[in-house]
């Protein structure tokens, strides 16, 4: 069985080695890039990369630009690493299609756990389950979403979020519960991360975005 390949892009060789060593212990194959341009070149040269870890601050091409290049052609999960802790920087990453955002310094074990969780759910999408409600058809096997017969493009995290809403239709879901189930870890950042993803998801869903109701002061509820 072939190893799952992960691309790490960071201008610090020490950081690449640290993260790479932890990933290799979990039997991942690791490919390294020292800047954003090199990461983009490697990503498109090697078509079997399953996940990308991008540092934000890199020479030649920064992580945001590299993410933008990748997202034009691929939904491959991307984790952003940054020393910045400001909300606007995090929101920029999510707006460009990042699936996770981890601030430095971080525990390599936590990062590897995030990689495991993303890839486990990504691979588990082959179960072929379909969810249908209010004209929305979510095919977890094909990782596709159709609304009134028309397919819409969702990022990996947006797809997971909509799936969680549809699986828990009619239930009031707190932001903390959504974070713990969709992100699958205790999130110590601002819960407005959820609001950002819901806003983007609603926009892509058009009129059907109204099926995701806001429960002020608590969270959200999906009602079809």
CB within 8 A of 211, min separation 6: which ones?
133, 134, 136, 205, 222, 223, 224
- 120 and 134, same domain (yes or no): no
- 167 and 76, same domain (yes or no): no
CATH number for the domain including 51?
3.40.50.2300
- 119 and 10, same domain (yes or no): yes
| pLDDT score, position 90 | 66
* pTM beyond cutoff 0.75: no
- 39 and 62, same domain (yes or no): yes
DSSP single-letter state for residue 2: P
As a whole number of angstroms, the distance between CA 221 and CA 224 comes to 10
- Which among 69, 103, 124 is the end of a domain? 124
Where in the sequence is the domain holding 159, given as residue range(s)? Answer: 128-222
Chain-centroid distance of CA 30 in Å reads 19
Number of domains making up the chain: 2
pLDDT by residue for the chain (224 residues), tens only, comes to: 578 899 999 999 999 999 999 999 999 999 999 999 999 999 999 988 999 999 999 999 999 999 999 988 888 889 998 876 655 666 666 777 788 888 888 888 888 888 887 887 666 444 557 889 999 998 877 778 999 989 998 887 888 899 999 999 999 999 888 887 887 654 455 567 788 889 999 999 999 999 999 999 889 999 98
DSSP single-letter state for residue 211: G
CB within 8 A of 41, min separation 6: which ones?
33
**Which of 205, 72, 78, 76 shows the shortest CA–CA distance to 145?**
205
């Amino acid at each position: 069985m072939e190893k799952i390949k992960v691309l790490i892009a960071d201008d610090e060789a020490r950081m690449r080695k640290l993260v790479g060593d932890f990933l290799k212990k979990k039997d991942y194959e690791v490919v390294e890039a020292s800047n954003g341009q090199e990461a983009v070149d490697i990503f498109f040269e090697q078509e079997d990369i399953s996940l990308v870890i991008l540092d934000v601050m890199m020479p030649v091409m920064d992580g945001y630009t590299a993410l933008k290049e990748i997202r034009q052609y691929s939904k491959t999960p991307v984790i952003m690493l940054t020393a910045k802790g400001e909300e606007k920087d995090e929101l920029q990453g999510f707006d460009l299609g990042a699936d996770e955002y981890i601030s430095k310094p971080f525990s390599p074990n936590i990062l590897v756990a995030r990689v495991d969780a993303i890839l486990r759910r990504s691979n588990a999408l082959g179960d072929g389950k379909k969810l249908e409600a209010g004209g929305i058809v979510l095919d977890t096997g094909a990782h596709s979403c159709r609304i009134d017969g028309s397919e819409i493009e969702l990022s990996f995290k947006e797809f997971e979020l909509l799936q969680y809403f549809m699986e828990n239709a009619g239930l009031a879901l707190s932001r903390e519960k959504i974070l713990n189930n969709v992100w699958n870890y205790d999130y110590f950042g601002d819960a407005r991360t959820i609001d950002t993803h819901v806003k983007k998801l609603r926009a892509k869903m058009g009129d059907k975005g109204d099926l995701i109701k806001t429960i002020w002061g608590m969270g959200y509820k999906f009602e079809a």
